[in-house]
């Protein structure tokens, strides 16, 4: 199981763009059924209703969309969806492939949030829990980032919480047993990155959404990370 620190830094978007993977060809019928936008297989795609074609949703288009609309495309906005599951209400299910985070609700429903994930997905699948949470958390760049990036170096001792802080308004710290996994679900200073594969590990949400999620969950909540990055399991 590879667990990289999330760079969580404004420069991450350029690296994410360079790493954008080619979208796979899929059957139109299945894609239409997904609604106006699908993060199908590897790349994120948007259905253009004018040209009736699926187009890649990359960081450039995301910035343009956000500049025009001041919010992410509809599929990535917070919404209540039908979600049948045996998991208890309050459980978080993260689908990095489709860039959705579900918070299970009673009555076969879930609140679905759009997320930005790591370039290589979450890198692992499994069950963790929310070990602790923080409001406007301090961000401390990992040592290797401090070493290579002067912008990070100036925050080597920790960047105070605030609108420019890459962890955003709230952070949910994911634990495996009593151990911090170093993964977090957090807000972002880059709201246009929702729906994209950026940085290298953590789950990012727009600040409004992470504040909403934070207000609804309990410390100890079960978090299920789905099998994106399943190739890691080959040969197990």
Partner 1 sequence: MKKASSFYGTAGALVLLMAATTPALGADLVIAMPNWPSGQAAANILKVAVAKEFGLEAEVQERGTLNAFVGLEDGSVDINPEVWRPNLDDLIRRYVDEKGAVVLTGRGTAAWQGLCATEAAAKLGIKDIADLSDTTKTAALDTDGDGRGEVWIGAPTWVSTGIERVRANSYGYAENVSLVEAEEDVAMAAVDAAVATDRPMVFYCYTPHHVFELHEITRLTEPAYDAAKWKIAPADDPLWVSKSSAPVAWGPAEFYIAYSTGFAQKRPAVAKFLEQVDFSTEEVTQMTYALQVERKAPLAYAEEWVKNHEARVDGWASQ
List interacting residues with partner 1 (CB under 8 A): 21, 24-27, 29-30, 33-34, 38, 40-43, 81-88, 93, 95, 97-98, 100, 102, 110, 121, 125-127, 224-231, 233-234, 236
State the catalytic residue, choosing from 8, 111, 202, 213. Answer: 202
Measured from the CB of residue 45, what is the shortest distance to partner 1 in angstroms?
13
Instruction: Determine which one of 170, 186, 204, 214 is catalytic.
Output: 186
List of residues 6+ apart from 150 with CB closer than 8 A: none
Q: Which residues pair with 179 in a beta bridge?
A: 176
Q: Which two tokens stand for residue 193?
A: 């990155």
Q: Any bridge partners for residue 7, and if so which?
A: none
Of 117 and 152, CB closest to partner 1: 117
- The residue (of 43 and 141) whose beta carbon lies closer to partner 1 is 43
Compute the least distance from the CB of residue 156 to partner 1, in Å: 34
Residue number with CB closer to partner 1 (127 or 153):
127
Question: Least distance from C-beta 105 to partner 1, angstroms?
Answer: 13
Q: Is 186 in the active site?
A: yes
Give the nearest distance from C-beta 87 to partner 1 in angstroms: 6
Token pair for 59: 């960081």
Tell me if residue 173 falls in helix, strand or coil. strand
Q: For strand 79-82 and strand 109-114, is the pairing parallel, antiparallel, or unpaired?
A: antiparallel
Q: Which one, 50 or 84, has the nearer CB to partner 1?
A: 84
Complete edge-to-edge strand list for the sheet that includes strand 37-38? 37-38, 45-48, 53-56
Helix (H, G, I), strand (E, B) or coil at 124: coil
| C-alpha pair distances (Å), 42 with each of 20, 24, 39, 65, 134 | 9, 7, 7, 20, 32
- Is residue 64 within 8 A of residue 17, CB to CB? The reply is no
Q: Is 214 a catalytic residue?
A: no
Residues marked active site are found at 186, 202
């Amino acid at each position: 199981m590879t667990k990289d620190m999330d760079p969580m830094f404004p420069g991450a978007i350029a690296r994410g763009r360079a790493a954008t993977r080619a979208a796979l060809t899929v059957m139109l019928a299945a894609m239409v059924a997904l609604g106006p936008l699908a993060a199908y297989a590897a790349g994120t795609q948007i259905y253009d209703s004018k040209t009736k074609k699926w187009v890649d949703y990359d960081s450039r288009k995301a910035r343009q969309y956000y500049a025009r609309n001041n919010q992410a495309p509809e599929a990535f906005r917070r919404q209540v969806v039908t979600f049948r599951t045996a998991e208890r209400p309050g459980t978080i299910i993260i689908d990095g492939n489709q860039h959705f985070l579900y918070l299970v609700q009673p009555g076969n429903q879930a609140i679905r949030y759009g997320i930005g994930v790591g370039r290589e997905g979450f890198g692992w699948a499994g069950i963790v829990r929310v070990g602790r949470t923080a409001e406007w958390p301090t961000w401390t760049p990992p040592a290797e980032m401090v070493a290579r990036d002067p912008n990070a170096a100036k925050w080597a001792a920790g960047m105070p919480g605030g609108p420019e802080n890459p962890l955003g308004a709230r952070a949910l710290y994911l634990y495996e047993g009593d151990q911090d996994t170093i993964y977090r679900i957090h807000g972002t200073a880059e709201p246009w990155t929702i729906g994209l594969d950026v940085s290298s590990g953590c789950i990012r949400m727009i600040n409004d959404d992470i504040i909403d999620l934070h207000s609804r969950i309990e410390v100890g909540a079960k978090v299920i990370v789905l099998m994106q990055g399943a190739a890691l399991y080959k040969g197990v």
